[in-house]
Structure 1
Amino acid sequence: MKILLYTQFCTPEPIFKSVPFARELRRRGHDVRILTGFPNYPGGNVYPGYRVRWRQREEIDGVPILRVPLYPSHGESIALRGANYASFAAASALPLLAGWRPDVVYVYNLVTLGFLASLNASLRDVPYVMDVQDLWPDSVFQSGMGRPWMRAVIERICRRAYGRAARVVGLSPGMVETLASRGVERSRLRCIYNWCDEQGLPTQSGPAGPRPPGFEGRFNVLYAGNMGTVQALDAVVEAAGRVARTRPEVQFVFMGKGVMRHSLEEQARRIAPANTLFLEARPLADANAVMSHADALLIHLQSKPLFEFTIPSKTQAYLAAGRPVLAAVGRDASRLVELAGAGLGCEPGNPDAIAAAAVRLASLDVAEREAMGRRGTEFYHRELALGVGVTHWEEVFAEAVGHA
């Protein structure tokens, strides 16, 4: 098949549904090209080595890429974020509608691209598939960027984008159910779990390198990643304070950066100075080495209805890493961890529940925790890996072409 990946975000940005996806499809014999913008996510600044221009053709790992101009921005300004999305949509219209004609178009996440994909389907009889990673308008309003007048507009855009797609793919069962409740026909809905960045996975079993300072003699529950408002890690620090009274050897480790890091460190100094540890963000290989020494890996998001069917990308990475997982997150992510037999789920935002789950993991014998880690790795490679996911996507693309 000839497949166009139509995505505003692409390698070298940290988006695995771009070049790694295309590379695997090409390995299987498909003709795959990418239509994208100039890399500026997540900081909103164009990456070194690039400058915004009218067109730029390049090739990464054998994948042909056409870049078109956009307004680089990923800040909190509604106007600038809107300019970012609208500028890419406008600049990509001509190459989409008059350029290379694929058999099917894959649209990554943004419903702002759905209108053009549907227009392309009408004008050139090219079906498209929507990959829904964030549920709009819910995610827009959850981020604080929504305004009352925007809801009806976004809902109308969503109805068109989803309504004319040959297939609509959600990242979790709960997301698929929600899309169905909003009028997307079940016959066009599919669920395909995400995979993780497999190039960054540890290449050896067991701990890599020396034990990080501060880990010795502790049961280390590690959170690795962004420390923002959505992660709501203040509840985890509260849990550390509770655990310190009865199981002081259980230590909560926070590795990364984010807008909330400073306030979290201040909170930890006040209520859990003896059993919290903050590490700086580090390159992926070094972060994986630290993760290999953790006794458990923690996922946490705010307790919000939207996050009941959100599966944070670190879920797959944690399962693949082979360590027990403490999933203090919504329904679908917790169920995935429990289905794998790879850890424990608990209520997000509840310090008592988080503390109890951490103590329960610490109370297990080492053999049981190691078994959890092995089951997680096996589950990832059997159910979630890149090769598994791409096979499902091939099936969806074939259905879309047949549907047309």
Structure 2
Amino acid sequence: MVSTNYAPEHTGIGPYSTQIAEHLAATGADTHVLAGMPHYPAWRVAEGYRGRWRIRERRGGVTVHRRRHTVPPRQTALRRALFEASLLAHGAVAPPRIRPDVVLTQMPSLAGGVLGGRLARQSGVPHVVVVQDLMGAAAEQSGIQGGGRAAALAGAVEARVLRGAAVVGVVHESFVDRVTAMGVPRARVHVVPNWTHVEGPSGDRERTRARLGWSEKDTVLLHAGNMGLKQGLEVLVEAARLADQEAAPVRIVLMGDGNQRAHLQRLAEGVASLSFLPPADAQEFPDVLAAADVLAVTQKASVLDMSLPSKLTSYFMTGRPVIASVAAEGGTAQEVLRSGAGSVIAPEDPKALLAEVRALADDPEQASRLGRKSESGWKTPALASGLGTQSITMHRSSTCR
């Protein structure tokens, strides 16, 4: 497997790459992963990995080959290009010395796709790509500085990687048209949704709220996960500012890390209804989600078909309603509406967001109905039966067909 993101990263793509690799190892496959240094979502290399060029380690029965690369604390098109170039250069000059039977690449990143294709060609074996985010569309839609100029180049490299793959998996059907437009035959494209990589909550909800300092009188709206550009989290800051002005019993909480956290903290100075939490560990995470009253997923209005937030698979395990401040025509809106577990409102509209939170607070029966829908739709199907790899069985939402 080639995946820039891997454990101990516990948000984003890392958990999916890790669980696939560990599942394959558990079936008896000699499984190797070419990965970067752990850095997400903080965009800082994790303690214990800093200053090291190459590491070979065993995790969960998997041999992980790590290569050093740049980690830009702030995202621009140029810095992202340097990040990709460093991944590609180090992975190319120092590949794992193994001869695989199949190469499975998780994209992003672009460098991972190029490296995966190169390793597969050198060994004369199939290259299977699972598309978690569409990189060309991401450069175009996410608002990254210089992204418009980079989109065409990123899209061209991405298209070349996908056309060369034996099989392409996409995590949502909204990606299919873009992938086939790149010249990938439709017969090679399979929808392989992600699963939930967290367990349901197990702690005492009132105790968790008390520990976090959340009053029972307040309606807590929680956003958990990466604080990046595409999330457009400014809408939550402005909704909290409105809550201050209206003296609304609403607390908005941003939990996690990312390259926009410092910017959001500066923007939120003096806003009493907004607070920040550091990322929760894997055991605590479900309990914090369940302690909130409402869970938020936000995206910029320009984000349509380039990604599907991995947080949804965690949110849908909590029994809490979800508010999606996203474009109505995008895949994220489709998933929330399909689940029946939440509502979709216009993106980048803090007034509408606060109004929806207050409406749920005023109608606890509706909030409970939505929460029950989110809990009820979890099964254990084969994730990758159409990929030409071994069947991978894990939990996923029945809404993600």
TM-score (norm 2): 0.81
Q: 1:190 to 1:225 in 2, by over 3 A?
A: same
Counterparts in 2 of 1:42 and 1:218: CA distance versus 1, 3 Å: closer
Q: CA shift at 1:145, angstroms?
A: 4.3
Matched, 1:319 2:316: yes
Instruction: For 1:215 and 1:121, locate their aligned partners in 2 and report how far apart those are by CA, in whole Å.
Output: 55
Distance change in 2, residues 1:239/1:147 (3 Å): closer
Q: Which amino acid aligns with 2:268?
A: E
Change (3 A) 1:165 1:282: closer
Secondary structure of 1:361's aligned partner: helix
1:223 and 2:223 aligned: yes
SS in 2 for 1:6: coil
Q: Contact 1:347 / 1:353 at 8 angstroms: preserved in 2?
A: yes
Q: Which secondary structure state, in structure 1, belongs to the residue aligned with residue 304 of structure 2?
A: helix
Distance in 1 of aligned mates of 2:186 and 2:296:
34
* Residue 186 of structure 1: aligned partner: 186
The answer on whether the counterparts of 1:250 and 1:362 sit within 8 Å (CA) in structure 2 is no
Quote how far apart the aligned CAs of 1:228 are: 4.4
Change beyond 3 A, Cα 1:13–1:139: same
Q: How far, CA to CA, are the matches of 1:225 and 1:217 in structure 2?
A: 25
Structure 1 segments (4+ residues) deviating >6 Å:
243-247
Find the counterpart in structure 1 of residue 2 from structure 2.
Answer: 6
Residues 85-124 of structure 1 aligned to structure 2 (within 5 Å):
85-93=84-92, 96=95, 99-109=97-107, 110-124=109-123
Give, as a single letter, the amino acid of the residue that structure 1 aligns with 2:104.
Answer: Y
Secondary structure (helix, strand or coil) at the match of 1:278 reads strand
| Counterpart-to-counterpart distance in 1, 2:71 and 2:243 | 44
CA deviation digits over 1:297-333, x for unaligned, max 9? 11111111x3355321211111112211111123322
Q: Which amino acid aligns with 1:297?
A: L
RMSD after superposition: 3.2
> Which residue number in structure 1 is paired with residue 388 of structure 2?
397
| Native 8 Å contact 1:16 1:196 kept in 2 | no
Tell me if the contact between 1:309 and 1:333 (Cα under 8 Å) persists in the aligned partners: no
CA, structure 1 residues 108+146, in 2 after alignment: closer, same or farther (shift >3 Å)? farther
CA deviations on 1:329-366 (whole Å, 9 max, x unpaired) are 23322221222221212121123432342233223234
Distance 1:394 1:25, change over 3 A: farther
After superposition, the C-alpha distances for 1:105-144 in whole angstroms (9 at most, x for unaligned) are 1111122233343344444321111222222223234342
Q: Give the Å deviation of 1:241.
A: 5.6
| Structure 1 residue runs without a partner (length 5+) | none
Which residues in structure 2 correspond to 1:191-202 (within 5 Å)? Answer: 191-198=191-198, 201-202=200-201
In structure 2, which of residues 253, 277, 280 is the aligned counterpart of residue 283 of structure 1?
Answer: 280
Deviations 1:249-306 (A, max 9, x none): 344344445033224423x63xxx5xx23143253344543332221111111111x3
Matched, 1:261 2:260: no
- Give me the whole-angstrom Cα distance separating, in 2, the residues matched to 1:116 and 1:282: 31
Alignment partner of 2:15: what SS? Answer: coil
Match of 2:304 in 1: 307
Q: Is the 8 A contact 2:137 2:305 kept in 1?
A: no
1:134 partnered with 2:130: no
User: What amino acid sits opposite 1:392 in the alignment?
Assistant: L
Alignment of 1:326-365 (within 5 A): 326-330=323-327, 331-365=330-364
- Report the CA distance shift for 1:32/1:218 in structure 2 as closer, same or farther (over 3 A): same
SS at match of 2:128: strand
- Measure, in 2, the Cα distance between the counterparts of 1:361 and 1:83: 45
- Supply the distance in 1 between the matched residues of 2:321 and 2:111 (Cα, whole angstroms): 38
For 1:93, give the aligned amino acid: A
What does residue 370 of structure 2 align with?
A: 372
Change (3 A) 1:224 1:392: closer
Please state whether the residue corresponding to 1:64 is helix, strand or coil: strand
**1:295 equivalent in structure 2:** 293
Does residue 176 of structure 2 align to residue 176 of structure 1?
yes
Higher relative helix content: 1
Q: Which runs of structure 2 are paired with 1:138-157 in the superposition (5 Å)?
A: 138-141=137-140, 142-146=142-146, 150-157=150-157
Aligned-pair identity (%): 27
Distance 1:183 1:208, change over 3 A: farther
C-alpha contact (below 8 Å) 2:6/2:18 kept by paired residues: yes
CA distance in 2, matches of 1:122, 1:328: 43
Q: Which digits, 9 at most, give the CA deviation of each residue in 1:31-77, with x for residues without a partner?
A: 32212233344445443223555643210122112223434445436
Deviations 1:80-101 (CA, angstroms, capped at 9, x unpaired): 54343223323323665x8322
CA, structure 1 residues 132+360, in 2 after alignment: closer, same or farther (shift >3 Å)? same
Amino acid paired to 2:264: R
Deviation for aligned residue 1:167: 1.5
- Is the contact made by 1:174 and 1:332 (CA closer than 8 Å) also made in structure 2? yes
Aligned length: 379
Q: How many Å separate the matches in 2 of 1:309 and 1:393? A: 21
Q: Structure 1 196/259 Cα, relative in aligned 2: closer, same or farther at 3 Å?
A: farther
- The change in CA–CA distance for 1:159 and 1:263 in structure 2 (over 3 A counts) is same
Distance 2:241 2:39 in 1: 39
Letter of the structure 2 residue corresponding to residue 189 of structure 1: V
Structure whose CA Rg is larger: 1
Give deviations 1:217-257, integer Å, cap 9, x for gaps.
12222223444443323333444566678893344344445
Aligned partners of 1:228 and 1:260 also within 8 Å:
no
